[in-house]
A and B are shown apart, each in its own frame.
Chain A
Amino acid sequence: MIEVKNLTKRYGSKTAVSNISFTAEESEILGFLGPNGAGKSTTMNILTGYLSSTEGEAKINGIDILEEPVKAKQMIGYLPEQPPLYLDMTVMEYLKFVYGLKKCKLPINSHLKEICDLVKITDVKDRVIKNLSKGYKQRVGLAQALVGNPPVLILDEPTVGLDPKQIIEIRALIKKLGKNHTVILSSHILPEIQAVCDKIVIINRGKVVANDSADNLARNMSADHKLVIRCEGASTDVKKLLSSIPGMDEVFVNRENVEEGVSEYFLNAKPGTDIRREVSKRLASRNYTLLMMKSSELTLEEVFLKITTGDIYGNVADSVDKLKFTK
């Protein structure tokens, strides 16, 4: 549905986006993740035909945005970073204007009413946009993108400025829209992307640093062979006991006496070995009570931070753990 190939955008000598490629299939929600200034908005502006690319191509449903802009734009609903609102109009006037601008064919009154209900702005529809709160403005911006029911929605940080309840509502709405729209969603808020998206593209400094499904991304980065445990007993004894487990690389006492007589350990086994049963058995045999065991699986946050702060994709899990071990 959306195909981006080797997209590059330069402003003079500064390269904002460099050789980006990704695709989004029909009814897929693609999350676009990156720190501020990574090139998210630039990419979205190119996709929607607001900017042109220096090199590479962007196709919406097989139609090149630069070659047949009007036809391609017809299929896109775009919510830019700052919602493009005419502040001197009322919400309804504005939506009618957008309706006319997009040359919609749907029955105007029922269509706009449906959208207002969907993004919950029915109660402010006769108010002048200037006087609305930021959250409402954001929702009017979203409503504008939905006018004409375009098959592709491109949303640049759609939940910015909303209160927590609204954020959850909008996320649920996006998820719902994702069932029959192709959605590209940018954000620097990870739980948002994790909660909503099927696929994640992480970009940093204009380059794609990761491109995978949300689950895969967290899984690849995770480390099942790395455990964090808490257990009762003298730490030197426990350490000796656990070190003798076959496949164990390193046992590291993280904190002594987390609770009375309880210490926390990091266990680092060879990749691919499952040491959980052995750990439990050996501790039980010596009457050391196991109080906690969890795999040191990375949250997307850690993955993100690690990827965007330097380490290349692949060595991430290791380096994040080093980070923890030496804390």
Chain B
Amino acid sequence: MFAIFKREFRAYFTSPLGYVFLAIFYAFSGLFFYIFALSVGSTDISSVFLMMFMVLMVFVPLLTMRLLSEDKKQKTDQLTLTAPVSLLSIVMGKFLAAYAIFAIGVAVMPVYGFVMSTFAKVSWLPIWGNTVGLLLLGGIFVSIGLFVSSLTENQMIAAIGSFFINLMILLMNTLTSALPTGFLQDVLSSISVYSRYSQITNGIFSLSSLIFFVSVIFIFLFLTVRVLEKRRWA
């Protein structure tokens, strides 16, 4: 697992991909930080976190599109799948590599807190809570992207496909509010990633949300392993 992690992580910096993603992350979060905090003189950066949902929805697929599709195309999967490692550790290695890049991006968020603390008193708890929430959200996007990239050999299709799923996740929230109140709405809103994430940005960090996010990540990683497994039997 560690060998794959190391290779994939390094690959992000031998191509422009890692730099581009981090640049986009920093640019947008910096822009939102300026708009929602600095320019209005507020120390509440929850809106920055909420806005990052849209940015990540679009750009995390760039990070993950290559992970498994390129292996299939270049036939390097013949190396990884015939090496004495389990499928899970291949998938985890790839996931953690993309996730590490994502986490490097997220690491800038507390920095904004420090910037603000030089001007005013900052309440750190929501910032840390939001950061954890963003890390969980990123985990979902990365695991979805990884899953979609296992389905195709084409990077572009992988990127567009995972963007599409991310979009569905967002639209599911809109759909929920369009439904009449009742059982269906309760179900949909409780599995809506967006509404759970916005809860966190509003300062409600519940155990059920934590379990929900981790479960979704787990499900997509599991599905990815199954796709690789299935390919052998095809």
Contact = CB atoms under 8 A, between A and B. Distances in A.
Contacts of A69: 84
> What 4 pairs between A and B have smallest CB-CB spacing?
A100-B3, A84-B79, A74-B84, A73-B84
Interface of A: 11, 45, 48-52, 69-71, 73-74, 76, 78, 80, 82, 84-89, 93, 97-103, 144
Q: Which of B77, B80, B82: most chain A CB closer than 10 A?
A: B82
Contact of A103 (B84, B232, B233): B84
Nearest to B7: A97
30 contacts: A49-B81, A50-B82, A50-B232, A51-B232, A69-B84, A70-B84, A70-B85, A70-B86, A74-B84, A78-B78, A80-B75, A80-B78, A80-B79, A82-B75, A84-B74, A84-B76, A84-B77, A84-B78, A84-B79, A85-B74, A86-B11, A88-B11, A88-B15, A89-B11, A89-B14, A97-B7, A101-B3, A101-B4, A101-B80, A103-B85
Nearest to A73: B84
Interface in B70-97: 74-86
A87 B74 contact: yes
Interface residues of B, number: 25
A151 to B, nearest CB: 13
B226 interface: no
Contacts of B232: 49-52
A51 B7 CA distance: 24
B85 A101 contact: yes
A97 B11 CA distance: 12
Nearest to A156: B78
Given A70-B84, A73-B84, A74-B84, A98 B79 contact: yes
A153 to B, nearest CB: 12
A195 B152 CA distance: 41
Contact of A85 (B6, B10, B76): B76
B125 interface: no
A102 B81 contact: no
B234 interface: yes
A70 B87 CA distance: 10
Contacts of B78: 45, 48, 50, 78, 80, 82, 84
Contacts of A100: 2-3, 6
Contacts of B7: 86, 89, 97
B225 to A, nearest CB: 14
Given A84-B74, A100-B3, A11 B82 contact: no
Contacts of B14: 88-89
Contacts of B76: 84-86
Given A51-B232, A84-B78, A102 B83 contact: yes
Nearest to B90: A101
A97 B81 CA distance: 14
Interface in B1-33: 2-4, 6-7, 10-11, 14-15
Nearest to B11: A88
A52 B81 CA distance: 12
B76, B86, B233: residue with the most chain A Cβ atoms closer than 10 Å: B76
A308 B231 CA distance: 31
Given A11-B234, A88-B14, A50 B81 contact: yes
